[in-house]
Amino acid sequence: MLTCTRRLEWDAMHRIPRHESKCAAFHGHRYAVEITCHADALDDRGRVIDFGVIKERVGGWIDTNWDHTAILMEGDPDPAIALLAASNAAYGRPVYWMKVPPTAENLAAELAIRARELLADTGVRVVRLRLWETPNGSAEWDGLVG
């Protein structure tokens, strides 16, 4: 199987409601993701996909929705949530609302869905996505399993 992997990075904050430790507080990360794509055959230039296409499409989505913003859970009971959302809006940055806690695992699954949608017309398939929340911790989504 032929694959290629593109790495993208961004900065964002989150908090994990009901977390039993430090992650219950608002905090930020330098996130990174490795997106692995598969093609049945290389294109006429010898590539699975141009790395720039992944950067433009998936990286563009990340820039718009996740970079320098807050990634939060809908219904988070913290009283600061409304103020934070209003503050971000005043600075022209969205809050990205998730139906589930914004853990590395849930972010990886969310981004895998988006990446598949964004690259659907390219003839490649996203087969793996590894999202790094810290240099020491990552979550992996595997599109070949299940």
Strands (E), 22-124: 27-39, 69-73, 95-98
Q: Which of 71, 131, 136 is nearest to 101 (CA)?
A: 71
The single-letter code of the amino acid at 33 is V
Which of 9, 68, 74, 117 does the annotation list as catalytic? 68
Is 19 annotated as catalytic?
no
The C-alpha atoms of residue 20 and residue 96 are separated, in whole angstroms, by 23
Dihedral of alpha carbons 138, 130, 143, 73, sign: positive
Residue 29 annotated in active site = no
H/E run at residue 131: strand 125-134
**For the chain, counts of helices (H) and of strands (E):** 4, 6
Instruction: Please tell me the distance from the alpha carbon of residue 129 to that of residue 143, in angstroms, as a whole number.
Output: 8
Q: Which of 23, 29, 38, 105 is catalytic?
A: 23
Q: Which residues are catalytic?
A: 23, 68, 133
